[in-house]
Structure 1
Amino acid sequence: MARLFAQLGYNLAICARRTDRLEQLKAELVKGYPDIRIEYRALDVSDYDAIFKVFDAFAADFGQIDRVVVNAGVGESRRIGKGRFETNRRTAEINFVSALAQCEAAMTIFRAQNSGHLVVISSMSAMRGLPKHMTTYGASKAGLAYLAEGIRADMLLTNLPIKVSTIYPGYIRTEINTNAKPLPFEVDADTGTKAIVAAIEAGVDEACVPSLPWSIVGQAMKRLPLTVVNKIS
């Protein structure tokens, strides 16, 4: 996403745990797009206090933050009742509580500015309760989607000019699932990322990406019996 946003001429504030990768990415983008400004900071989203400090520091760097993408997450969860509570708890905390902290930090900045665009990356797994190792992961991503919808509703209620977008990616092959078996309708990272950025740039409230087939699959998942959903999840 950073590469694609750089192509569009955006200044970038990027954060992650691995600063060596951020440094390499910054060097690459500065070389390719010398007219944009790029700042980076280390951030582990399990450190809630750090989220607020890093977001505020970026706002001070640039004077204004136009968009925040809440994208950090983990994919490891296990069947409920199989003695893996700590694994499931970490997934729930990173995917939901840490995302809540990021939304809180972003919306504090946006409210002060009276402008901004909050983007949360949910998952097609949020469409229904899923079995096996997907249960906690899907539930955390569903919670994130409802959180974003609630913030969007609040913006409508208060008539504030702050946009909120929820993106539901389908199966995208990335580092997080490199060793997993191929999945139906799976796309590579480049294809998936281009679809995500296109949806964000369009300013949608919600989008399943890539749109085909996932917009259709999403509607089907909401209506099909769980016995059928189990077979396609």
Structure 2
Amino acid sequence: MIDWFYVSAGVVVGCQLLFGCFSLMCAAKLLAVLAIIRFVIIPADCDLTLWFYEHFGKPVESLKGQVVWITGASTGIGAALAVRLARSGVKLALSARTAEKLEEVKKQCVATGGVGENDVLVVPLDMTNYSKHQSTFDQILAHFGQLDILVNNAGRTQRGRWERIDLQVDRELFDLNVFSLIALSRMVIKYFLQRGSGHVAVTSSVAGKVGVPMSTSYTGSKHALQGYFDCLRLEKAGSGLRVTMVCPGPVESNILNISFTEKPGEVVGESRVGRLMSSERCADLFAVSLANQLNEVWISEQPVLLLVYATQYFPAITTWCLVSLSVVGYIMKLRDGKNVLKEGEKKQE
């Protein structure tokens, strides 16, 4: 992923060193100052590339008339993204397990005034029911005549101590978060390749870039998605297929309420509280990444965004700091909110 802030900073510092304008120490100080400006003085809730395209790139309205299929569209980021795209005149196919919730999202989409009743198709789908993938896709093609963008948003999170997680939990979570998305994407991508164009977007997570304690299975599933779709992007370069990985940080949703735990069949059953990005703001930035066909975007408020940058550009130093300072509790607080962390601590005690 290219961050033009660091590219430009590197060019400036490199030129200064090349022509002997100042020493390595001065260069380090300049980079430190630039970093402070980037992360402290300038408010940021996304990576600089996405920030640039939000302000100077194609507007979301450039997607008007295209057909977008969103899985996991009944709540959270998926529902908010559907409403945001509908406002810009995007035709939508909405999938999730619960038809009633999807109908509510459809009403919100139509209420924006950007689309009509016939422009939003509700197609209920349990992602792990692989036998229904093709028939659901056929239904979308029969209704709209085409598909332009697939948004793989379905998934669940997980909480549990690494050594106590039942292997069945890993299997069930990977079946939903990884294998069902891969199966659906492979089916749709064949259509895109035959057509000569198409766009696949995947809701990954900052957990796909940074190891998150007490969320082992979830973190592993998001790292797996990064690997699968990074390979796809390179393999199909020049084919007309675009791949976008969207990595949100903590966002308002019911994801913790239905979260897997250490035991099969068990859920956390709590709500996230504290400092969380609104699903609407996340959807705005998600939509911008679709309109501009960005390869990978990070969507999060500080200090999570800074942690992702540090892990990406200084992995050895960052890992050493995280391990040496024993910041497990702090990372959990960032992930779930202060109140949830305290409740979790009491339960473990």
TM-score, normalised with respect to structure 2: 0.60
One-letter code of the match for 1:203? Q
In 1, Cα distance between equivalents of 2:209 and 2:241: 25
Q: Is 1:163 the counterpart of 2:245 in the alignment?
A: no
1:9-88 mapped onto 2 (5 Å cutoff): 9-33=89-113, 35-36=115-116, 37-82=119-164, 84-88=166-170
Task: Count residues with an aligned counterpart.
Answer: 229
Greater percentage in strand: 1
Q: Which residue of 1 aligns with 2:83?
A: 3
Structure 1: 5+ residue runs without aligned partners?
A: none
Q: Is 1:135 the counterpart of 2:216 in the alignment?
A: yes
Q: Which residue of 2 aligns with 1:96?
A: 178
Q: Which residue of 2 aligns with 1:204?
A: 294
Q: The residue matched to 1:176 in structure 2 has which SS?
A: coil
In 2, Cα distance between equivalents of 1:150 and 1:7: 33
* Structure 2 CA distance for partners of 1:122 and 1:74, relative to 1, 3 Å: same
In 2, Cα distance between equivalents of 1:82 and 1:213: 29
Structure 2: 5+ residue runs without aligned partners?
A: 1-80, 258-269, 333-349
What is the percentage of aligned positions where both structures have the same residue? 24
CA contact (8 A) 1:75 1:137 kept: yes
Q: Which residue of 2 aligns with 1:232?
A: 331
CA drift at 1:181: 5.1
Q: Deviations over 1:54-108 (max 9, x none)?
A: 1232123211101010000011243333152222321121111111112112212
In 1, Cα distance between equivalents of 2:231 and 2:209: 16
* Structure 2 CA distance for partners of 1:162 and 1:211, relative to 1, 3 Å: farther
* Structure 2 CA distance for partners of 1:7 and 1:83, relative to 1, 3 Å: closer
* Structure 2 CA distance for partners of 1:177 and 1:92, relative to 1, 3 Å: same
TM-score, normalised with respect to structure 1: 0.88
RMSD of equivalent CA atoms: 2.2
One-letter code of the match for 1:190? E
Q: Deviations over 1:191-211 (max 9, x none)?
A: 222222222222110000147
- Give the counterpart of 2:278 among 168, 177, 188: 188
Structure with higher RCO (Cα < 8 A, 6+ apart): 2
Q: The residue matched to 1:39 in structure 2 has which SS?
A: strand
In 1, Cα distance between equivalents of 2:166 and 2:296: 33
